[in-house]
Amino acid sequence: MAWKTLDDMDLDGKRVLTRVDINVPVEDGRVTDATRIERICATVQDILNRGGKPVLLAHFGRPKGTHNPEFSLQPLIPTLEAVLGAPVVFAADCVGPAAQAVVDALQPGQVALLENTRFHAGEEKNDAGLAAQMAELGDVYCNDAFSAAHRAHASTEGLAHLLPACAGRLMQAELSALESALGAPERPVLAVVGGAKVSTKLDLLGNLVEKVDMLVIGGGMANTFLAAQGIDVGKSLCEHDMAPTAREIVDKAKAAGCEIILPGDVVVAREFKAGAANETVAADACPADAMILDAGPESVKTVQAAIERAKTLIWNGPLGAFEIEPFDTATNAAAKYAAKRSAGGKLVSVAGGGDTVSALNKAGASEDFTYISTAGGAFLEWMEGKVLPGVAALETDDEDA
């Protein structure tokens, strides 16, 4: 597999149509975590320094093919300008006359930002006509959106076939970091998968148990696995209809020799609220009117022992309701322990996913992880060994590329 990088392209005076993922968390119009914006800096600056004109294509949220101002990229401009250190000119559409006018008037040193690609229904359908309209706006296509590379959309896949295409710096960095940490991982390999729903990570869990030696299941997903064993989880978040699937995953893990680690004790509360009164009980003793909001101290010890045995750790998803204190306790403790083992050279640790990165940042653990990916879904699909359409579209036959 080979793909071109910015080094292989002539950028001077060229309009570089650059697909980025700046799908960042925003609250009350303000960016609350700029990680994804910070990580595209190298690419944008490289293009500017070599006399190119960066024209950014990006999606934001899931507006489902309609022009919904709630999902406009415009509010990100102040953060983009501050982080990129360059003026950003906004176009109210990602194709057509509005985009053309902004691109035509773009001055050296400026960055163009085109409105949300998902305002067009053709984006998610990978519509050839939409991709062709996008292609009119650039001379070169650069894909720097690894975290959206699992989507075969017009701006991530179709467009790559219409212009001379290359991978951006972040795309390169993500692929090489994942390959070097996880391509031929040192065993035992431990995966920690948490988060709310089994249904969203079903394929992943099924595939993962065949690839890793230990799997810690945390968060709301753990409740589904507990319930599947006949345990009453009270009012906990739980997908009861997924019980058969959860049992299948457990069987598959057994057959593959993968140890599944579920919480043995849990922290329960009567309300989902920061500081809610809580107690620690055995995992099979959740009161009928309570809900499980975190893994308990015994479970944390078990997870830490697994981290201690592991040589490689893959982490996606928190162990509890980490966004409200004190239910971030188990996630923090496990994250800190993994950070310590990594800093001591005992563990290769890779984490990915929006919630995971913000949980690790909150725990002060991200610095010591071996690698933090900007990707959630794409990271998981890469781990499963799936072909990412956005990456595949960049591939050339040229052995030297």
| Residue 185 interacts with which of Mg ion, ligand 3PG, none, CB < 5 to 8 Å by class | none
**Beta carbon of residue 60, minimum distance to ligand 3PG (angstroms, whole number):** 8
| Residue 148 interacts with which of Mg ion, ligand 3PG, none, CB < 5 to 8 Å by class | ligand 3PG
36 carries an active-site annotation: yes
The active-site residue out of 4, 19, 36, 53 is: 36
The b-or-e profile of 169-192 (16+ CB within 10 A means b, else e) is bbbbbbbeebeebbeebeebbbbb
C-beta separation of 264 from 283 below 8 A:
yes
**Beta carbon of residue 57, minimum distance to ligand 3PG (angstroms, whole number):** 13
Closest residue to ligand 3PG, based on beta-carbon distance: 23
| CA dihedral for 267, 273, 274, 278, sign (positive or negative) | negative
| Residue 151 interacts with which of Mg ion, ligand 3PG, none, CB < 5 to 8 Å by class | ligand 3PG
377 carries an active-site annotation: yes
| Residue 302 interacts with which of Mg ion, ligand 3PG, none, CB < 5 to 8 Å by class | none
Residue 54 vs 376, nearer CB to ligand 3PG = 376
Residue 83 vs 330, nearer CB to ligand 3PG = 83
| Contact positions vs ligand 3PG (CB under 6 A) | 21, 23, 62, 147-148, 151, 376-377
**Beta carbon of residue 152, minimum distance to ligand 3PG (angstroms, whole number):** 11
| Binding site members | 21-23, 36, 59-62, 118, 151, 201, 323, 353-356
Residue 218 vs 376, nearer CB to ligand 3PG = 376
Residue 53 vs 151, nearer CB to ligand 3PG = 151
| Binding site members for substrate | 21-23, 36, 59-62, 118, 151
- Count of positions on this chain that bind Mg ion (CB under 5 A): 2
* CA distances, 125 to each of 20, 71, 156, 162, 266 (Å): 19, 19, 11, 16, 43
C-beta separation of 266 from 219 below 8 A:
no
* CA distances, 24 to each of 16, 27, 377 (Å): 22, 10, 14
Q: How far apart are CA 319 and CA 86, in angstroms?
A: 39
**Beta carbon of residue 273, minimum distance to Mg ion (angstroms, whole number):** 26
| Residue 54 interacts with which of ligand 3PG, Mg ion, none, CB < 5 to 8 Å by class | none
Q: Terminus-to-terminus CA distance in the chain, angstroms? A: 9
Q: How far apart are CA 165 and CA 20, in angstroms?
A: 14
Q: How far is CA 140 from the centre of its chain?
A: 26
The closest alpha carbon to 262, from 200, 192, 205, belongs to 192
Q: How far apart are CA 337 and CA 306, in angstroms?
A: 11
DSSP sequence for 202-265: HHHHHHHTTT-SEEEE-HHHHHHHHHHTT---TTS---GGGHHHHHHHHHHHHHHTPEEE--SE
The active-site residue out of 219, 296, 377, 390 is: 377
DSSP sequence for 30-92: EES--HHHHTTHHHHHHHHHTT-EEEEE---S--TTS--GGG-SGGGHHHHHHHHTS-EEEES
Q: How far apart are CA 358 and CA 366, in angstroms?
A: 9
Residue 203 vs 279, nearer CB to Mg ion = 203
**Beta carbon of residue 340, minimum distance to ligand 3PG (angstroms, whole number):** 28
Residue 145 vs 222, nearer CB to ligand 3PG = 145
**Beta carbon of residue 147, minimum distance to ligand 3PG (angstroms, whole number):** 5
The active-site residue out of 14, 50, 125, 197 is: 197
Residue 147 vs 312, nearer CB to ligand 3PG = 147
* CA distances, 282 to each of 132, 181, 197, 265, 300 (Å): 59, 36, 22, 4, 13
**Beta carbon of residue 380, minimum distance to ligand 3PG (angstroms, whole number):** 10
The active-site residue out of 352, 354, 376, 390 is: 354
The 362-401 site mask, x for binding Mg ion (CB under 5 A), equals --------------xx------------------------
Tokens of 127: 């519509």
Single-letter code of the amino acid located at 309: R
Tokens of 378: 């794409």
| Binding site members for ATP | 201, 323, 353-356
Which residues form the catalytic set? 36, 197, 354, 377
Residues of this chain that interact with Mg ion (CB under 5 A) are 376-377
